Every structure is written in structure tokens, then in C-alpha cells.
Amino acid sequence: TVASADVAAAHIARLVVPAASREMLRVLDFGGGDGALSIGVAAALRARGAAARAQVDVVDYAAAGLVRDEAALCVRGHARLA
């Protein structure tokens, strides 16, 4: 158990070793609720230089309609894979 999604995301990001620095980091979060954990991991990896931009796709009923489009981070929510 962790105090917050940010703490868990930082921990996961420390364990991930990206294959190489890329222009775009893509994350698929299946069953991710509001996507807070995967968004945090993507942001932490971007901060480490893993990619210039990150795209997170969250598949969860709770995420349907979720849209966040910023210069460095794009998040899309989907109710189902289709």
C-alpha cells in the first residue's frame, strides 16, 4: 500500500528501463480507473528523458470521455477496447 498514486508512479518509473530515448512514449493502461497511476509513470519517465512526449490511453468505464491534451502529455480515456 502506498500513500498516493504519485508515490506509486515514482516507484514504478524507477523500475522501468526504457529501450531508448524516443520522441513519443506510449502507455496503455487497461483497467486504470482515472489513469492517475499511468499518467504519473509517463510524466516521471518523460522527466528522466525517456521521451519528448507521452501518450496515455486509459481503458476503463470510469475513464470514458477523459481527454487531456498538452504539449508534452496526451491522455485519452476509453470505455472499452474497440
Q: What is the pLDDT of residues 31-48, one digit of tens each?
A: 989 999 999 999 999 888
Q: Which three cell numbers stand for residue 62?
A: 470510469
Phi, psi angles (nearest 5°) of residue 64: -55, 125
Burial class for 29, CB neighbours closer than 10 Å (0-12, 13-18, 19+): buried
What pTM did the predictor assign? 0.84
Say what the pLDDT of residue 17 is. Answer: 75
- 76: region left, alpha or beta (phi > 0 left; psi from -120 to 50 alpha): beta
Instruction: Report the range of poorest mean pLDDT among 8-12, 19-23, 30-34, 54-58.
Output: 19-23
User: From residue 47, how far is each of 42, 54, 62 by CA, in Å?
Assistant: 9, 11, 27
